[in-house]
Structure 1
Amino acid sequence: MKEVLLLKCGEIVLKGLNRKTFEDRLLKNLSRRMKHVADCGISMRQSVVYVEVPEETDADAVMDCARHVFGFATISRAAVCPEKTLESVIETAQSYLAPRFAQAGTFKVETKRGDKKLPMTSTEISQRVGGELADRFPAVKPDMHCPDLTVHVEMREKYAFVHAGPEPGAGGMPIGSNGRAALLLSGGIDSPVAGWMMAKRGLELVGIHFFSYPYTSERAKEKVLELGRKLTVWCGRMSVMVVPFTRIQEEIREKCHEELFTLIMRRFMMRIAERVAVEYGCGALITGESLGQVASQTMPAMAVTGAVCGLPVFRPCIGMDKEEIVTIARKIDTFETSILPYEDCCTVFTPKHPNTKPKMPKILEAESRLEVDALVEEAVAGVEIIHLP
């Protein structure tokens, strides 16, 4: 039996004259992702994207791929009726949904009639199909209020489809429809979640990771790259810029007060990240900061670290507690990787008593002992670019 995925567009249907731009981006993203799974036919009509699943293809794999593409509100795996007639709809529903009927005690039929030329109304189609199915599955009783199974009939322009109901899509906006941003990707729980949240709003991601060998190991670097690969399941291809950060940390440790180490380090990160972001066409930075979670994420501390950056800094986790962030990390399959015990550059030189209420004059006085511009230039020049599939 021929199957098709019906992907209903999300909030892009609310767009005005620029709606086609978003739709084109969505189709391009879907096509690029699907080509790694199967040679599917993809088309769009009336804000519904049709993915034709070849018979020899694993439909579950195609469905799983579609679940991870931002821009779709719902996804339905449906059978294509051989003819757009009630008889064909009934026969298809009986055959395709027989396993569902075997597990249900009650059912009802809901019809969407995209083709308004049909002589019967949606209610009339539902009543006719429901009556026939009740006769063919006598053990399953009709229930219009709380059925175990809802049979969905969609009468579209060219074909009729039958399915057992939609499931939620990834939602959000198509990747790239709102530009590109640089994600400061550490090995922790928060930054991958922040990247995922902003990708869902249509941002293409470029990762930036600060690497302090030999204080952090190659395994720590591989952990971050694995987090990037986890994100590509949702975001598609991605590049990670690995910044050599050892010399900067050693200079700060040698010439600045311990309590200011983390703040000055993060100011260097923001400077470098902005330089790399601009070079690669990014219009903003993304961090995983959550207000008050650690000493460097108090309001005064974030004001100090953000002051060196001219680009917008998006902090999607700012108002979330740790449990909320962990819930998303589990959903996007980054949590288990994030908790692997490999230190990143933010933890190896953590002061015992960090300053939570820094004053800018004191920060500037400490930075005056450092060759800031030269250190930034050296780090930017040493960036290693790693492309993830």
Structure 2
Amino acid sequence: MQYSEIMIRYGELSTKHKNRMRFINKLRNNISDVLSIYPQVKVTADRDRAHAYLNGADYTAVAESLKQVFGIQNFSPVYKVEKSVEVLKSAVQEIMKETYKEGMTFKITGKRSDHTFELDSRELNQTLGSAVFKAIPNVKAQMKNPDINLQVEIREEAAYISYETFRGAGGLPVGSSGKGMLMLSGGIDSPVAGYLALKRGVDIEAVHFASPPYTSPGALKKAQDLTRKLTKFGGNIQFIEVPFTEIQEEIKAKAPEAYLMTLTRRFMMRITDRIREVRNGLVIINGESLGQVASQTLESMQTINAVTSTPVIRPVVTMDKLEIIDIAQAIDTFDISIQPFEDCCTIFAPDRPKTNPKIKNAEQYEKRMDVKGLVERAVAGIMITEITPQTEKDEVDDLIDNLL
């Protein structure tokens, strides 16, 4: 027998009561985006669970994709069969013959959602259990922690049988908590910050600053590849490229070296906040970790933050580098992040950046520049690309391109 679909059970959505369907619809859309790499798979959702209809797709590949989607508690590949006692008996016998190995134990867990069905849950367990004994005489039943737990659910439209259950990613559906602008460099930390924001339901848009010719096309592609890695947790992400060359040249020409990083970050914060305002975001997200580099002291964060009243979320602020690397490796962004392409934060980095910059000093140096004009020109020049999940074939093609 072949699996017909995957039955998906929700996670924290059970606590949402009146808003439940809003969360479910968001999750359904996210699952559809993530599974768009399997064109034949179709997704539906109701108040109890979602269904991914395989239509011939490889269930193991689809299952691997579903494991990453936030908002899913667990899921089971299922066989959909006719609501007939005889059909059900034949189905469980066939499944057990394919699955059973010498010495394994089993149980039947029946559930009757359709109360018009001729057998109740207890009778269903007994009838189907007897059918298994008839097909495999030496099999042993075990009610607690059996090797095979055949779950049989009788619903209005059909009967469903499953024996595998996979754990989901938990969390909240991406987008159910509003939108945030992720300041995405090419480093290790910011993709991890984006992942943690996605886990709590924040719909992120990736804001990346490019300074050609100082930053290369490789650096831009690296940021886009990092963004694509994040799409597997909740679907498509808008990638916003910001032209930053004019601003960096202006800062280098008119500010002391010790304040180059502080002023660069203040401009980035202003621009990200302006984009957030235009695109109806609620927060700014970045990958700052306290004390990790000179620009990430409390004094520096205070001076950089002074340019906005918008909440700035720093999901990795209390983590050390090894903790962040562990997550980066788990979400498969680490190998991309360590590719040797410089980003805007490193190309003009001073040898001795100010670790306790003062707001009044930063404001004094910025008076030498047309801050408003620089910000508005950068925002006017943004380029927006929708990043979508990538198929395995596309990943292989990209790897070949990189090797060439």
TM-score, normalization by structure 2: 0.86
8 A Cα contact 2:31 2:235, kept in partner = no
Aligned to 1:77: 77
- The aligned runs of 1:97-246 (5 Å cut-off) are 97-102=96-101, 105-116=104-115, 122=121, 125-138=124-137, 140-246=139-245
Aligned to 2:63: 63
Aligned to 1:340: 339
Distance change in 2, residues 1:180/1:79 (3 Å): same
Matched residue of 2:17: which SS? coil
Cα distance between partner residues in 1 of 2:112 and 2:301: 54
Distance change in 2, residues 1:388/1:40 (3 Å): closer
Q: Displacement, 1:269?
A: 0.5
Matched residue of 2:348: which SS? coil
Cα distance between partner residues in 2 of 1:13 and 1:294: 41
RMSD: 2.6
Q: Displacement, 1:355?
A: 2.5
Cα distance between partner residues in 2 of 1:269 and 1:205: 17
Cα distance between partner residues in 2 of 1:131 and 1:264: 75
Q: Displacement, 1:209?
A: 0.6
Cα distance between partner residues in 2 of 1:301 and 1:181: 22
Cα distance between partner residues in 1 of 2:29 and 2:215: 39
1:254 correspondence with 2:241: no
- The aligned runs of 1:16-27 (5 Å cut-off) are 16-27=17-28
8 A Cα contact 1:266 1:305, kept in partner = yes
Distance change in 2, residues 1:156/1:326 (3 Å): farther
8 A Cα contact 2:190 2:287, kept in partner = yes
8 A Cα contact 1:84 1:155, kept in partner = no
Cα distance between partner residues in 2 of 1:104 and 1:375: 73
Distance change in 2, residues 1:101/1:253 (3 Å): same
In structure 2, give the amino acid aligned to 1:295: A
8 A Cα contact 1:260 1:354, kept in partner = yes
| Uncovered stretches (5+) of structure 1, i.e. residues with no partner | none
Aligned to 1:281: 280
Matched residue of 1:290: which SS? coil
Aligned to 1:5: 6
- The aligned runs of 1:284-323 (5 Å cut-off) are 284-323=283-322
Matched residue of 1:129: which SS? helix
Cα distance between partner residues in 1 of 2:269 and 2:138: 65
In structure 1, give the amino acid aligned to 2:91: T
Cα distance between partner residues in 2 of 1:351 and 1:111: 67
Q: Displacement, 1:313?
A: 1.4
Percent identity among equivalent residues?
39
Q: Displacement, 1:18?
A: 2.3
Cα distance between partner residues in 1 of 2:387 and 2:45: 29
Deviations 1:322-350 (A, max 9, x none): 33322332232222111111111111222
Distance change in 2, residues 1:176/1:46 (3 Å): closer
Deviations 1:285-319 (A, max 9, x none): 11112222222222222122112122221212222
8 A Cα contact 1:104 1:148, kept in partner = no
Q: Displacement, 1:241?
A: 1.6
| Uncovered stretches (5+) of structure 2, i.e. residues with no partner | 389-404
Q: Displacement, 1:37?
A: 1.6
Aligned to 1:44: 45
